[in-house]
Structure 1
């Protein structure tokens, strides 16, 4: 539109210029010619100009009106086209917003109107483009080329569906070439795109099929090869298809085949297809290949062409040749075969051929049978040929099936028939083969007769004869099988392994049989235990021989000789020998064993190893005779069962122990009292073990077999139990005598050991050691009574010992007897069944337990606990021995505690003395208060404590330890009218509260809600209470009168120390004020000197600040800095002795004047030295004019002879003097001063001080 306005304006200007020019030229000439009077000429010229303006204005108006009508018509035409166009038309910004769209565009994108689409689409790249990257590519192309044609893209409709569009667009720019907007047309191409994609997919699929086709596919156009697939490349023998393109197709055809090939090419040019035809094909290497070629017209790359499909016939020809050769070989083999064979047609059954063997069997001539049927010749009999054919087709005829065969003489005999369907020259035929079984049947009949005779002989022997195959399946069993095993002969034809019992001896037989099968060699005879039909066991001796054919064992034949009676006799002898061996071994072991456990363990191993391996062992009665406990050597049971104790009222073993009589059970499932402890047990035998007619235990044996024990076993077990009882009695008597002697020795040693220490912890360890020597335990502990509770003070053997030390719990007099009445040890057989026992975490292993009371002077002070994982471990004998030790332990513990108490009193007194000394060592009130509370905790332990001092009607917390919010509590004020404080104030004595939470007078100051036990102690000086110490504990009743006495003693010394510290602080405060007055005076002196010496104002204060800053960096202490400051303030105090005429002289000083000036450091020394307060500050006033190289004054000191303070000040003084303007010179720049200081380092100044100063200045400059 802007282009139209520019064009109209240009035309208007041109028109105006032409009319104006013509008017001026023509009217000027006319006026000059007509009017001569100048005045009239002017008038005429004016009218002429006005006429020109009116005329041209009118003309321009008419022209512009006409042009506007034209433009409006064009715009209306464009608007109509825009509104009714079928294509989408749009204008959009480069950023991605639509400026305008036509209705077709809105419909295309699924919007109700153009306005809706413009308002809805805020980002074209994300809302319209499926792939925003395509939008970026589109914009890039527009910016590059200015226009884009046929830009295909996937777009979103309003409802989210995707469709394809094609777009033509251009970029509109302004006069400067800057992009204004994009305008263009959009057409939907979804259908054509899909059709194009489908076509492309189809072409791709066809190309893939062609590329992977096993046949060669070629395309030639105008007689030249333009395409060849991989199969074609392989057929030609080329390296690739490209090298063949452009080759005349006729070059690949053999000259003999070319005429026909050229004829087919001409027909193809007329649009006809060429049917398959065999040709000779020439390969690249010149070799000839037989091929089958078919061709048809084809369009390739939009040009007419011919597609040729070539099939290589090489393999087919070779196969056909092989078939012909095979047929010739078959014919020769057929006629030469010794097997009677003939061929008949499937339809009709007529003979086609028969070999010589068939003619010999049938006694027919070949010419007599060819073309005739078997029915016509009556050669072999069929019930129905149709049924025969049906069975043959369904393959229901068994190969080798027996048939009746009749020869030409009418002789009938049996044959084995074999039939196979074959194809000869495309005709279905039957190949029939026959085997004459006449001689075989005669031989079988002879064998059957011999077998019957042999079976009669075998069945009347006393042995079983058998045979089985390589898979151990029995194929024959003789008649004696019934008598020996109870099976009928045919009933026993199963896998012979099924007859075997689980006896270990049978494994050897299996291995030998398998070896005979594998090697084909007979093995040595072996013995098996078999299971008869009725379940009884049969022993047999086996002798067997392998039958081998073609190097492979096909069967085993053998004989089973019944040796049951002999084996039972041997077993009886072995059993008697085993019993005698066991009895002798147990007797020998009993005489040689040194302990009861050793006797029982050896006997169990012997009996179990020789007689009863399944389950065997000894169970012993406890001292009370109420519980049976398996000995640890028990065989065949779990560890849990061995650790279990069984009451004599339960189980077979309990019955035997209670009654004293043996019990033998052949089937434990019939016995209700049986307790199952081992799986698989079927029978049991249990006998009592006696000592002096008293049952002390039982000997038990169990078996996984039913009826495993008989009277003989019972007799042997009783004998063994008697031997065990006698041996145990001997050991017990010997052990009792030995234990008595050892116990006496241990008690004597323990008594001596208990007197070696008065330290409770060491004493507890000695007690536990002594007990372990006398009484075995797995874990032990010592408990002492403490304020109605029992506390564990020592332990050994517990899982993690330290976690039990210090545990306290009630003494439970309602469960146990009153402590004063507990005079004898307490034994608990099984703590799991006694609810009186306190079960602590980690002690689940404890079963047997004994508690030994320790009492002295008729008072029980605690217990010694002994633990065992064995039920009923501790006996009355243990208890009697333990009590003696318990009494001795009680006396030793009491003595130790008495000594400890006395020692504690001494330590408390010593702590009081040391605390007093420590408190007196400081005069700082805060330190004194802190030391006081720390020292007090050593004397009287507490959880938190505070010191409160009077301030009028209030008290202030001035020190505290252990408070929850200690920083906040310090310096907090509370009313002195508190009832507890008033009570202490009135009595002037400590006040104890057992439980502060139950006392109404207790106020919870400073977050003291946790406090239970509480004590307040007055601080008294010169008869007046000036403060209080309060001690807090989280434990009720934590403080008593003894602790109150100690705290009061401590408080007396603390009060003196506090008062002294307060007096010192007051004095120190006065000294500080005096010191500040001195320092103020010194500053005044410094300012006076500045005025006197005409120094730059502020020099003293500046050098003071800078000197102190450098000194801090060099590590000066706080006290050193104080003296340093004073020295700087009066560094030129000596100039007060120099006449003003010299100080204020403007010109140079004379030599004599310089000598006088250099005396001012000495004047300073003389002035300040008598003042003790300023004597430590003399280094700077006296020595700051000394030089590092020794050329300074007043004393000519050098290097480190010069005090450090003076060396520091010398550098700072020169820096400030040069940095500021003086009456006699201008100020220097910092750079010049720094260079000067570096030059004078090692001459005037200490080099290290110069380096430190310049580094400090550099850091300040950076800041």
Structure 2
């Protein structure tokens, strides 16, 4: 072709100064496009073949600028520069370009341009001879497009085989788009499960990463929404002239959007945007449509694969939870295990289980975990069951609830979350035999995390978890009952064995705190005289503030419980009246729940048992019953102790009265017998002191004391003529006098209360050598008390003035007692007595 052009140039160069008629004769028979341009780029000549192909008449183009009329704007400068090089350098130029025809279509031409000049060489023109290669180029373009389509089909098919998830598939598909188009931004949007929104995939190109999360649009807005709703492709040549267009990128000039359909249902769109006006051709639209159709098939396969995997995971999860929960009967461990299993299959951030308190129309949190961290502050929290709370709705309707985006929900609230608010929420009821015992929820910080598949899985888990929770509850109930019975038994033992009320109350409070699982407990006793409740014992308090509390009847919850004679509770002390008794203590200790039970025994209020907890308490009826039973035990213990104390007081008073009576008898005998004043009291005190030093038990000292008091009680049977005789007694009179120990025995032995005290009155005149009276007992045969008393009695008698003689001094008396050792007295008793006297121990008495 090039040789042909050169030939023409040589052959007709001498004729270039002729008229267009001459050009017509030369070029009219050519099936080539011939155009001659002058130095100013204006058209001087065009042959008929050119005019026929382009659809112009010569008059329409004569004198017009070639570049403004036929060359596309984006190619204008490039071809004009080439044109100028021909004129300046006189160098022929070959190239391929497209020219615009009269109907707006493009003609692809292979040009050979040469410089021609007139005979004088003063005027330069450019001869442009071109061959129409549009059909050839179209065939080539078609082939390339077919190869591209095949590459796309192969690429997506391969991605469907190798991708492990829908996300991975979409990312690979976006990369394929990159290899086909040169665009400013492009990618794929997928609809959410409810088809309310279109969500830009993370692989979308041309949008900054920090804006990706914001690129969620309603599925009925903009060009994307139109395509999604209609299921038809849409091409916008100029976005500024299209009211449907929603601007995301100010540089965008044109947009092409293709629906992605799966089983005749639109599931998303492919969006392509260009910074050039009218940038997309029908072939581009066809190519993207083929891309979308192939992608939908791949998505179908991936979804089937993911569905199969999900089902396998769900079956495995159900099996694992069934195995795990069947052997776990501890509630706290059960909840943790369920969370660990669920988080491996569900994209959750927060996990919450609540229980229903039907009688109060409330529910409370039993477990709350967020990203492996327990939300301690929520455990035990109570909420009213109502339509405005998510858990309340689930429990009330006994149905599952899926909220894809709480940000769009104004009527439902979710108070239970950690530092970040919840956006996605899925909850199911825990039902057993048509009874809802609670609910379980999974929550996420981002919207649109959970779908209907997750909901069905949670429903299946809900039934299983409810059974496990009920089994754990029944076991805990049985264990609690056994522990409580054991506790009651232990308390009974303490009540029956301990005489110390403080010990009994401390043991009882230990059982209260442990078995009721509360933080602290206290018993306040009612003073019947002052009508005040006074602190008696406590457990679990961090400070000693409660020990100073004195409450009037009717004052505060404790006073109210005492006055009304029934349990009074304050479940949430944050809501308590500021004037309430105990408020400073409650604030100081951080208590949140408070129970007060009156202690009533035999119809009389003995005090009050107060229970404190630093978390909200949600007790069942059995807990309340056990609390009241413990209060009954406490009341019995207090009543028994009170009765015992009263009895002991009466015994002491009776004993004092008895001893006072005995002392009166003794003084009467002293007066009758003309004994030295105070003799009896002195010998009593000395004898008891000696007995203590010899290690005689305290329980026997009272009998020794009484025996010493009554040592001469038998003299009541001696006639005054003998007892008060100023001179020596005759033998006959001594026989009678020596009978007074027997008279004492006969007097005291029938009296059970005084029988243990009989040793001294009966035996204090027996001698160690056996020569005493009345029974001539010898050595160890003589009771110890009598042996002690005989030494003390002689000491006091000899060192005291008598009507018939003056008192001996201590030395003379001690010499006498020493001489009577092994004769009248027990030598060991005498030795001990001597040491004591010499150490002046008795002088302190």
TM-score, normalised by the number of residues in structure 2: 0.54
Change (3 A) 1:580 1:1014: closer
1:599 to 137, 150, 169: 169
Partner of 1:969: 549
Deviation at 1:687, TM superposition (A): 0.6
Cα shift at 1:1061: 7.2
1:730-1129 to structure 2, matched below 5 A, reads 730-773=301-344, 775-786=346-357, 787-798=360-371, 801-802=374-375, 803-813=377-387, 822-835=397-410, 836-840=412-416, 842=418, 844=420, 846-916=422-492, 924-940=500-516, 941=518, 945-952=522-529, 954=531, 957-961=534-538, 965-969=545-549, 991-994=566-569, 1015-1018=596-599, 1020=601, 1025=604, 1027-1031=606-610, 1040-1056=624-640
Q: 1:701 to 1:1025 in 2, by over 3 A?
A: same
Q: Is the 8 A contact 1:912 1:1050 kept in 2?
A: no
Aligned pair partner of 2:260 in 666, 681, 689: 689
- Residues 953 and 837 of structure 1, relative CA distance in 2, 3 Å threshold: closer
Matches within 5 A, 1:85-124: none
Distance 1:834 1:729 in 2: 32
Counterpart check, 1:629 vs 2:199? yes
Distance 1:673 1:1081, change over 3 A: farther
Contact 1:590 1:599 in 2 (8 A): yes
Following TM superposition, by how much is the alpha carbon of 1:779 offset from its aligned partner in structure 2, in angstroms? 2.9
Deviation at 1:951, TM superposition (A): 4.3
Determine the structure 2 residue equivalent to 1:702: 273
Instruction: Note closer, same or farther for the CA distance 1:933–1:853 as it changes in structure 2 (3 Å cut).
Output: closer
Matched, 1:615 2:199: no
Q: 1:762 to 1:597 in 2, by over 3 A?
A: same
Taking the aligned partners of 1:813 and 1:665, their CA distance within structure 2 comes to 47
Q: How far apart, CA to CA, are the structure 2 residues paired with 1:559 and 1:928?
A: 124
**How far apart, CA to CA, are the structure 2 residues paired with 1:883 and 1:714?**
45
Query: 1:267-346, aligned counterparts within 5 Å?
Result: none
Whether the aligned pair in 2 keeps the contact of 1:928 and 1:1061 (CA below 8 Å) is no
| DSSP-derived class of the 1:628 partner | strand
Structure 1 position 993, deviation (Å): 3.2
* 1-structure distance, mates of 2:317, 2:557: 62
Give the CA deviation at 1:917. Answer: 5.1
The residue aligned with 2:757 is none
In structure 1, what is the equivalent of residue 244 of structure 2? 673
User: Helix, strand or coil: the match of 1:813?
Assistant: coil
Structure 1 residues 841 and 1085: CA distance shift in structure 2, 3 A: closer
Alpha-carbon displacement from aligned partner over 1:888-927 (angstroms, at most 9, x marks no partner): 2112212211222222222222233344556778655545
- Return the offset for 1:688: 0.9
Aligned counterpart, 2:96: 565
CA distance in structure 1 between the partners assigned to 2:378 and 2:809 by the alignment: 92
1:585 Cα deviation from its structure 2 partner: 2.4
Deviation at 1:981, TM superposition (A): 8.7
Separation in 2 of the partners of 1:948 and 1:954?
10
Task: Give distance in 2, aligned partners of 1:959 and 1:979.
Answer: 17
User: What secondary structure sits across from 1:736 in the alignment?
Assistant: helix
How many Å separate the matches in 1 of 2:645 and 2:149?
99
Q: Do 1:827 and 1:851's aligned partners in 2 also have CA atoms closer than 8 Å?
A: yes
Indicate how the Cα distance of structure 1 residues 997 and 481 shifts in structure 2: closer, same or farther if over 3 A, else same.
same
| Cα 1:700–1:951 shift into 2, 3 Å | same
Distance 1:558 1:1069 in 2: 145
Cα distance, 1:943 vs. partner? 6.1
Paired residues of 1:847 and 1:867 also in contact (CA < 8 A): yes
**Preserved CA contact (<8 Å) 2:186 2:272:** yes
How far did residue 859 of structure 1 move?
1.6
Instruction: Determine if contact 1:634/1:642 at 8 Å carries over to the other structure.
Output: no
Q: C-alpha distance in 1, partners of 2:202/2:220?
A: 22
Residue 326 of structure 2 aligns to a residue whose secondary structure is coil
> 3-state DSSP class of the match of 2:366?
strand
Question: Given the superposition, is the C-alpha separation of residues 1164 and 807 from structure 1 closer, same or farther in structure 2, using an over 3 Å criterion?
Answer: farther
Determine which of 218, 221, 231 is the counterpart of 1:660.
Answer: 231
Q: 1:927 to 1:576 in 2, by over 3 A?
A: same
Decide whether aligned partners of structure 1 residues 1015 and 815 sit closer, same or farther in structure 2, where only a CA change above 3 A counts: closer
Number of corresponding residues = 564
Give per-residue Cα distances to partners, 1:1057-1094, cap 9 Å, x unaligned: 5655787899999999x9xx99x9699999xxxxxxxx
C-alpha separation in 2, matches of 1:808 and 1:640? 40
- State whether residues 829 and 849 of structure 1, in contact with CA within 8 Å, keep that contact through their aligned partners in structure 2: yes
Query: Which secondary structure state, in structure 1, belongs to the residue aligned with residue 327 of structure 2?
Result: coil
Please report how far the alpha carbon of residue 1013 of structure 1 lies from its aligned counterpart in structure 2 after TM superposition: 6.0
| Equivalent in 291, 315, 322 of residue 720 of structure 1 | 291
Q: Which residue of 2 aligns with 1:647?
A: 218
| CA RMSD, 1 decimal | 5.8
SS of the residue 1:754 aligns to: helix
Q: Which runs of 5+ in 1 are unaligned?
A: 1-478, 485-531, 544-556, 1087-1132, 1146-1152, 1172-1177, 1185-1263
Aligned to 1:60: none
Deviations, residues 148-205 of structure 1 (Å, cap 9, x unaligned): xxxxxxxxxxxxxxxxxxxxxxxxxxxxxxxxxxxxxxxxxxxxxxxxxxxxxxxxxx
| Cα distance change of structure 1 residues 791 and 914 upon mapping to structure 2, 3 Å threshold | same
Q: Does the 8 Å contact 1:928/1:1057 carry over to 2?
A: no
Deviation at 1:604, TM superposition (A): 1.4
Deviation at 1:657, TM superposition (A): 1.0
Aligned mates of 2:288, 2:571 — CA distance in 1: 75
TM-score by length of 1: 0.38
Equivalent-residue separation in structure 1 for 2:832 and 2:39 (angstroms): 143
SS of alignment partner, residue 1046 of structure 1: helix
Match of residue 273 from structure 1: none
* C-alpha distance in 2 between matches for 1:716 and 1:754: 55
**CA drift at 1:720:** 1.0
CA offset digits 1:808-847 (Å, max 9, x no partner): 3222236678666634321112110112132556465533
SS in 2 for 1:624: coil
Contact 2:368 2:374 in 1 (8 A): yes
Name the structure, 1 or 2, with higher relative contact order (CA <8 Å, separation 6+): 2
Structure 1 residues 800 and 703 mapped into 2: Cα distance closer, same or farther (>3 Å)? farther
Distance 1:843 1:726, change over 3 A: farther
Is residue 566–residue 598 contact of structure 2 (8 Å, CA) maintained in 1? yes
SS at match of 1:721: helix
TM-superposed deviation, 1:599:
1.6
* Whole-Å separation in 2 of the counterparts to 1:715 and 1:709: 10
